[in-house]
């Protein structure tokens, strides 16, 4: 399981290098931002219509700009200063960019972690069983795995969403329901299909890693010994094989969280996500006004990049400390 | 008396690891004479492999030769570098530590070559054995076809990345020529590999360990080196194969007249092969001299411990493990200023708490010992109580030193220390 | 096992995989909501026309008959007709291949040309500024969503600096080369180069970063192996040790990873084509999805699967020819 050697390795690598520290600080801040989104947001992120006098989006504070106002039927250019209420300006439907940025973290993290967890719960048992018993079961799994890998994850996700629709799941917001934040949405929509599809396209990687571990442990002396004492296969798997697979699976899981956050963003960008409160979707929304209002697309992208960097840094840290043999080959969906 | 081909003076090699500075080789001096077999014997972690690597300038990061002189006899080379580097030339000898790296590189393979303990991991698994030997032949031929003065300056860059890329496109630009391949086959035959033509096209994994060690010897011979450093050349092999490989080395030495520096932990191998021996302990050579000096007239208690109660040279055999206690830590901050062997030495005295100097047993001989017993009889200085080191530094000698012995082992292997 | 036998086995596996993809796609279509005939004809169609089309298309047959028909069609290269445009799916796929292929190859070239030297430098100068730079770059590269990167590139190079055009690809590579050869005018080729630069960078950055990381870590491992010291000990020039021996051995396992990453490359191509309005298969796939044009969607996805497994069989063959140990197992 998590032995003392592993924890001391983790601690030492953390102490010795800067990158895990950066990753940790980043991820903790983003998680805090997601959790306390209703307190941090300045406006209801779904409320539209925050426009300047000319009916245009506000720019971020600190930029001066001109807007067009119709005066007596004639369009005039007028100097306007940014509205201090909208720190990062507003988007083309007049939503507060900063508030949407804060809320966007929730979707990314929720989808990333829950899909990885689901994939792990499906993939690890299948992989363990296939690797442990070998033979037909194993062959069958490997063929299924090959087929899954032949589908580009994104394409598979698109096809599945095409069939099952977007099915958003509304999760009530505990902070709002406790009455701690006024005027914020009472629930946020999690893209249900996207989450399940993401799990579906990556479980194979977990199955492969678990299978590899089971395969190599099957012939270990202590596993054989346990079997010869009459321990059931189930107990051998849970008691011996699973604990030994934990480290590579943790490393893999971290990498996959990053992969899924990117996948979710891509799907949202393509408009297949089912929620509009997502960084990816926001980038798409800003695309049409990229030339005149570049901040709408730029800011959510920075959010994605920072989140994924944080997760990757922690993944590198785990990999260096736990299992130098796992490599980038697992970085795929 | 035959002349020295190599004179090592005060060589120190250190590794700068996360745990601290490791003094793998500490102020080591010895000389190797033309055409002889000089043995270096010691336990693992004693610094003997690093000494070998230091001679061919292959100590990898985080290791570094920090001090010392390596005088190598080469009249031609001496003439060439005398102008530019007068300080490092002494008659026919050149201090290799004082010349530019490119000169050392140009000597590698052709003047000084090295073979290693584990033939299986010492060949590139994805090229044929013939190709790899042919590369060594090519190195030799390119070196001898050009005057050394230009070689020293251009070697390394002479075969550029550009020509490498070209060689993929144009077979005629390959580094290895057809003649070199043929010579490789001859060499395989020379070291006793049957069907050399076919075997040249096989990959290392298709060879047995003994055959592969022969192939590695062939590869080293390809450069026609003056000095061959053989680092545990038989350790990974079966006993019968060991004998064959040693015979082969002796035969080849008789034929080519090369000098061999044989590094081993096996006293039997030393007794069988060597003319003179150095015994290493804790990164130092603690006793050196002729085979007789060391095996019969030894002074240092460590040498004595190694040999145990072996009555005569013929019956010496087997590996080392006779001295009770731990291999010393080579971590700089754990090394105390005393005889490094004192904690295991049965004859440790108070005088041993200072570093003993190298002392010649006879004023004009070259039997050199690093031990106070050259001057004192046991008991002339108060003996240390048995528990002296346990009370003084329990933490440093027990768990602590075990761990650091591991660390120095790791760094002492040619490249393990920095691979992660 | 001989190479031939190995290849036969891998090819059979590949066929099985493609069959799996075909079946899954057919299954998805069967369970997907919406009546095909209605989708084909649009909302306004009369009941009779719908009935007629259903009969014509065999939609009233039992599902297994439809499945067999479909598979049979695929075997002779008949992918059916697009519901939307009523054109042959094969033609609609084939006409879009060049644009996607150009993009994929350009991105791969960008990735390999930048990543391998970067990885080598990073591995051989560990913990020097060059290594830190490469590490930072590759971290950013694998963490940046490519559609956003594409937009930022457009913003920077297209809008602010005005160096590269951001419009749709006006000319294909084949035509451009043709004008060069036939009329001696390089103008088309330049136009093509200008237009493909940003999309290729967008698609290639992730792979550049990934391969840099792979090369670096692989090479660091490889450099620590005893044969490297042994090879240097025989006096081989450093360039040869580094490239002929170490890099070669590093690239062998990386090759397999790259084969598997082709799926990601194709997914990335879909996105990149959307961002740049690049007239390739990916853009057509998105259109087909929007229109629920199942035959077209199936056709494109089956094609992608075939391409993917073909590449991987090829990679395996290459692998077994590079690593002599494979064939002896
Ligand atoms: S110097 Fe003293 S402790 Fe060291 S070996 Fe000689 S007698 Fe023993």
B323 lines ligand 1 (CB under 6 A): no
B345 lines ligand 1 (CB under 6 A): yes
**What's the A256 CA to ligand 1 centre distance in angstroms?**
60
* Count of beta carbons in the 10 Å neighbourhood of residue C186: 13
Q: Which domains does chain C have, with CATH numbers?
A: 97-279 (1.10.3720.10)
Please answer yes or no on whether B161 and C239 come within 8 Å at the CB atom. Answer: yes
**What's the B406 CA to ligand 1 centre distance in angstroms?**
24
Write out the H or E segment, with its range, that includes residue C316. Answer: helix C294-322
**In A, which residues are within 8 Å of C267 by CB distance?**
152-155, 266, 333
Q: Of B116, B164, B414, which has the smallest distance from its Cβ to C240's Cβ?
A: B164
B371 lines ligand 1 (CB under 6 A): yes
Ligand 1, atom 1: closest residue by C-alpha = B371
The whole-angstrom distance between A136's CA and the closest CA on chain C is 15
Report the C-alpha gap between B44 and B320 in whole angstroms: 10
The pLDDT of residue A328: 47
The pLDDT of residue B161: 67
Contact of C70 with C26, CB cutoff 8 Å:
yes
B356 lines ligand 1 (CB under 6 A): yes
pLDDT band (50, 70, 90) for residue B414: very low
pLDDT at B260 over 90: yes
The pLDDT of residue B78: 85
Ligand 1, atom 6: closest residue by C-alpha = B371
Q: What per-residue string of b and e applies to B170-188 under the rule 16 or more CB within 10 Å gives b?
A: eeeebbbeeebbebbbebb
Residues ≥6 apart with Cβ < 8 Å to C115? C207, C208, C209, C210, C211, C212, C215
The whole-angstrom distance between B66's CA and the closest CA on chain C is 20
The pLDDT of residue B154: 47
pLDDT band (50, 70, 90) for residue A308: very high
**What's the B411 CA to ligand 1 centre distance in angstroms?**
27
The pLDDT of residue A309: 93
**In A, which residues are within 8 Å of C256 by CB distance?**
329
* Four-point Cα dihedral A222, A228, A230, A233, nearest 10: 60
**In C, which residues are within 8 Å of A287 by CB distance?**
151, 275
Average pLDDT, chain A: 80
* Count of beta carbons in the 10 Å neighbourhood of residue B332: 14
Interface test with C, best of B113, B118, B122, B213 (most C CBs within 10 A): B122
The whole-angstrom distance between C309's CA and the closest CA on chain A is 7
B342 lines ligand 1 (CB under 6 A): yes
pLDDT at B315 over 60: no
B282 lines ligand 1 (CB under 6 A): no
SS3 A34: helix
Q: What per-residue string of b and e applies to B237-265 under the rule 16 or more CB within 10 Å gives b?
A: beeebbebbbebbeebbeeeebbbbbbbb
Q: Of B105, B126, B156, which has the smallest distance from its Cβ to C248's Cβ?
A: B126
SS3 C237: coil
The per-residue pLDDT for range A164-216, each reduced to its tens digit, is 777 778 888 777 777 777 777 777 888 888 888 889 888 888 888 888 888 87
**In C, which residues are within 8 Å of B206 by CB distance?**
328
Q: HSE-up of B290 (CA within 13 Å, CB side)?
A: 8
The whole-angstrom distance between A223's CA and the closest CA on chain C is 25
Q: Which ligand 1 atom is the nearest neighbour of the CA of B378?
A: 7
Angle (nearest 5°) at CA B218 between B59 and B253: 90
Please answer yes or no on whether B156 and C245 come within 8 Å at the CB atom. Answer: no
Percent pLDDT > 70 in chain A is 86
Please answer yes or no on whether B121 and C234 come within 8 Å at the CB atom. Answer: no
pLDDT band (50, 70, 90) for residue A331: low
pLDDT at A310 over 90: yes
A297 touches chain C (CB under 8 A): yes
pLDDT at A254 over 80: yes
The per-residue pLDDT for range B205-252, each reduced to its tens digit, is 888 888 898 899 889 888 888 899 999 888 878 888 888 889 999 998
Please answer yes or no on whether A301 and C210 come within 8 Å at the CB atom. Answer: no
Report the C-alpha gap between A50 and A38 in whole angstroms: 18
What DSSP string describes B373-396?
GGT--TTSSPBPPTTHHHHH-HHH
Q: B–C: how many Cβ contacts below 8 A?
A: 118
Mean pLDDT of B124-140: 88
B347 lines ligand 1 (CB under 6 A): yes
The whole-angstrom distance between B419's CA and the closest CA on chain C is 5
B352 lines ligand 1 (CB under 6 A): yes
Q: Which ligand 1 atom is the nearest neighbour of the CA of B302?
A: 5
The pLDDT of residue A261: 92
pLDDT at B149 over 80: no
- The radius of gyration of chain C from alpha carbons, rounded to an integer in Å, stands at 24
The pLDDT of residue A88: 74
Q: Of B118, B140, B156, which has the smallest distance from its Cβ to C226's Cβ?
A: B118
Interface test with C, best of A26, A140, A150, A265 (most C CBs within 10 A): A150
> B163 vs A191, which has greater pLDDT?
A191
Closest CA to A189 of A250, A126, A113, A103: A103
The partner residues of A191 in beta bridges, in order of sequence, read A168
Contact of A268 with A158, CB cutoff 8 Å:
no
B175 touches chain C (CB under 8 A): yes
The pLDDT of residue B311: 43
Q: Of C224, C233, C249, which has the smallest distance from its Cβ to B124's Cβ?
A: C249
Mean pLDDT of B302-328: 61
Please answer yes or no on whether C144 and A308 come within 8 Å at the CB atom. Answer: yes
The per-residue pLDDT for range B84-113, each reduced to its tens digit, is 888 888 888 888 888 888 888 888 888 889
From residue A328, alpha-carbon distances to A199, A259, C217 in Å are 19, 12, 9
Q: Which ligand 1 atom is the nearest neighbour of the CA of B301?
A: 5
Interface test with C, best of A147, A268, A289, A325 (most C CBs within 10 A): A147
From residue A165, alpha-carbon distances to A109, A195, B153 in Å are 22, 12, 71
The pLDDT of residue C140: 92
Q: Which stretches in chain C have pLDDT values below 50?
A: 328-329
Provide the angle, in degrees to the nearest 10, between the axes of the packed helices A153-164 and C248-276.
40
**What's the B388 CA to ligand 1 centre distance in angstroms?**
14
Average pLDDT, chain B: 79
The pLDDT of residue B401: 38
Neighbours of chain A (3+ CB pairs under 8 A): C
Which of B287, B325, B342 has most ligand 1 atoms within 8 Å of its beta carbon, as the pocket-test mutant?
Answer: B342
**In C, which residues are within 8 Å of B157 by CB distance?**
239
Please answer yes or no on whether A150 and C17 come within 8 Å at the CB atom. Answer: yes
The per-residue pLDDT for range A97-144, each reduced to its tens digit, is 888 888 888 888 999 999 999 999 999 998 888 888 878 888 888 778
The pLDDT of residue A114: 92
> A84 vs C29, which has greater pLDDT?
C29
Q: Of B121, B132, B418, which has the smallest distance from its Cβ to C225's Cβ?
A: B121
Scanning chain A, the segments in alpha helix (DSSP H) are 4-16, 18-35, 37-40, 97-133, 135-150, 153-164, 174-177, 192-218, 221-228, 233-236, 242-269, 279-287, 295-322
Q: Of C229, C233, C238, which has the smallest distance from its Cβ to B109's Cβ?
A: C233
Which of B280, B287, B341 has most ligand 1 atoms within 8 Å of its beta carbon, as the pocket-test mutant?
Answer: B341
- DSSP code for B84: T
Ligand 1, atom 3: closest residue by C-alpha = B342
């Amino acid at each position: 399981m998590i032995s003392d050697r592993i924890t001391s390795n983790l601690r030492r690598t953390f102490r010795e290098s800067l990158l895990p520290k950066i990753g940790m600080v980043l991820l903790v801040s983003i998680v805090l931002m997601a959790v306390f989104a209703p307190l941090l947001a300045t406006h209801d992120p779904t409320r539209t219509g925050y426009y300047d006098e000319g009916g245009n989006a506000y720019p971020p504070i600190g930029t001066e700009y001109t807007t067009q106002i119709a005066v007596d039927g004639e369009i005039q250019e007028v100097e306007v200063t940014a509205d201090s209420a909208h720190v990062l300006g507003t988007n083309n439907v007049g939503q507060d960019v900063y508030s949407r940025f804060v809320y966007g973290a929730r979707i990314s993290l929720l989808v990333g972690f829950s899909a990885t967890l689901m994939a792990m719960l499906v993939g690890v048992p299948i992989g363990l069983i296939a690797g442990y018993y070998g033979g037909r079961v194993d062959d069958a799994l490997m063929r299924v795995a090959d087929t899954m890998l032949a589908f580009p994850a994104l394409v598979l996700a698109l096809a599945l969403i095409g069939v099952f629709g977007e099915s958003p799941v509304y999760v009530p917001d505990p902070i709002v329901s406790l009455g701690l934040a006024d005027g914020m949405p009472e629930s946020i929509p999690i893209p249900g299909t996207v989450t399940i599809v993401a799990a579906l396209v990556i479980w194979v990687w977990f199955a492969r890693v678990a299978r590899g571990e089971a395969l190599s442990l099957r012939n270990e002396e202590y596993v054989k010994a346990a079997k010869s004492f009459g321990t059931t296969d189930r107990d051998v798997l849970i008691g011996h094989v699973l604990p030994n697979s934990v480290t590579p699976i943790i490393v893999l899981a971290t990498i996959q969280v990053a992969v899924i956050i990117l996948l979710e963003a891509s799907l949202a960008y393509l408009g297949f996500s089912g929620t509009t409160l997502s960084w990816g979707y926001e980038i798409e929304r800003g695309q049409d006004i990229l030339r005149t209002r570049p901040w709408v697309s730029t800011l959510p992208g920075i959010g994605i990049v920072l989140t994924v960097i944080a997760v990757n840094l922690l993944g590198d840290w785990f990999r260096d400390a736990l299992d130098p043999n796992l490599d980038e080959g697992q970085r795929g969906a | 008396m035959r002349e020295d081909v190599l004179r090592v003076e005060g060589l120190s090699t250190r590794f700068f690891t996360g745990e601290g500075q490791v003094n793998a080789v500490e102020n080591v001096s010895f000389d190797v004479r033309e055409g002889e077999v000089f043995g270096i014997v010691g336990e693992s972690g004693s610094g003997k492999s690093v000494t070998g690597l230091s001679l061919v300038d292959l100590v990898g990061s985080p290791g570094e030769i920090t001090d010392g002189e390596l005088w190598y006899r080469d009249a031609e080379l001496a003439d060439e570098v005398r102008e530019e580097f007068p300080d490092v030339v002494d008659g026919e000898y050149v201090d290799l530590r004082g010349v530019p790296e490119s000169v050392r590189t140009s000597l590698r393979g052709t003047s000084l070559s090295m073979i290693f303990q584990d033939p299986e991991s010492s060949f590139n698994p994805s090229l044929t054995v013939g190709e790899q030997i042919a590369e060594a032949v090519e190195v030799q031929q390119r070196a001898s076809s050009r005057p050394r003065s230009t070689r020293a300056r251009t070697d390394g860059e002479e075969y550029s990345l550009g020509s490498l890329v070209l060689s993929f496109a144009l077979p005629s630009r390959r580094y290895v020529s057809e003649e070199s391949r043929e010579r490789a086959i001859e060499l395989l035959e020379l070291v006793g590999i049957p069907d050399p033509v076919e075997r040249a096209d096989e990959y290392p994994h298709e060879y047995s360990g003994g055959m592969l060690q022969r192939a590695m010897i062939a590869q080293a011979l390809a450069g026609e080196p003056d000095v061959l450093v053989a680092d545990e050349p038989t350790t990974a092999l079966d006993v019968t194969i060991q004998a064959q490989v040693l015979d082969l080395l002796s035969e080849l030495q008789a034929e080519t007249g090369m000098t061999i520096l044989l590094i081993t932990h096996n006293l039997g191998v030393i007794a069988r092969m060597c003319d003179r021996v150095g015994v290493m302990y804790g990164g130092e050579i603690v006793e050196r001299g002729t085979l007789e000096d060391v095996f019969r007239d030894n002074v240092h208690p460590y040498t004595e411990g190694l040999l145990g109660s072996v009555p005569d040279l013929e019956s010496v055999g087997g590996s080392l493990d006779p001295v009770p206690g731990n291999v010393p830590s080579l971590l700089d901050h754990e090394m105390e200023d005393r005889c490094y062997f004192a904690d295991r030495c049965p004859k440790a005295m108070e005088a041993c708490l200072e570093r003993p100097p190298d002392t010649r047993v006879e004023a004009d001989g070259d039997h050199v010992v690093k031990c106070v017993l050259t001057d004192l009889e046991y008991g002339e200085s108060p003996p240390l109580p048995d528990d002296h080191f346990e009370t003084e530094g329990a933490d440093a000698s027990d768990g602590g030193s075990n761990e650091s012995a591991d660390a120095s082992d790791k760094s002492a292997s040619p490249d393990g220390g920095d691979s992660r | 096992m001989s190479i031939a036998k190995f290849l036969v086995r891998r090819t059979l596996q590949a066929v099985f995989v493609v069959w799996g993809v075909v079946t899954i796609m057919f299954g998805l279509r069967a369970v997907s909501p919406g009546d095909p005939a209605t989708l084909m004809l649009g909302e306004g169609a009369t009941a009779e026309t719908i009935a007629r089309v259903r009969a014509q298309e065999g939609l009233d047959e039992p599902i297994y008959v439809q499945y067999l028909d479909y598979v049979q069609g695929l075997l002779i290269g008949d992918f059916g007709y697009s519901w939307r445009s009523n054109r042959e799916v094969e033609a609609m796929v084939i006409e879009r291949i060049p644009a996607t292929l150009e993009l994929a190859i350009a991105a791969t070239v960008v990735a390999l040309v930048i990543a391998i030297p970067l990885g080598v430098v990073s591995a051989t100068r560990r913990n020097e500024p060059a290594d830190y730079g490469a590490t930072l770059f590759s971290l950013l590269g694998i963490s940046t969503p490519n559609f956003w990167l594409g937009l930022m590139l457009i913003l920077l190079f297209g809008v602010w600096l005005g160096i590269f055009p951001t419009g749709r690809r006006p000319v294909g590579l084949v035509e451009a080369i043709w004008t060069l050869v036939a009329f001696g005018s390089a103008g088309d080729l330049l136009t093509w180069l200008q237009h493909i630069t940003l999309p290729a960078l967008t698609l290639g950055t992730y792979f550049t970063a990934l391969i840099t990381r792979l090369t670096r870590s692989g090479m660091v491992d490889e450099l620590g192996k005893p044969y490297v010291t042994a090879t240097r000990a025989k006096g081989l020039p450093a360039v040869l040790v580094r490239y002929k021996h170490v890099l070669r051995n590093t690239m062998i396992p990386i090759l397999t990873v790259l084969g598997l990453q082709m799926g990601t490359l194709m997914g990335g191509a879909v996105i990149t084509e959307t961002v740049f309005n690049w007239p390739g298969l990916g853009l057509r796939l998105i259109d087909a999805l929007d229109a629920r044009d199942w035959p077209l969607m199936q056709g494109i996805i089956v094609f992608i699967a075939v391409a993917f497994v073909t590449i991987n069989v090829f990679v395996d063959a290459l692998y077994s020819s590079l690593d002599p140990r494979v064939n002896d197992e």
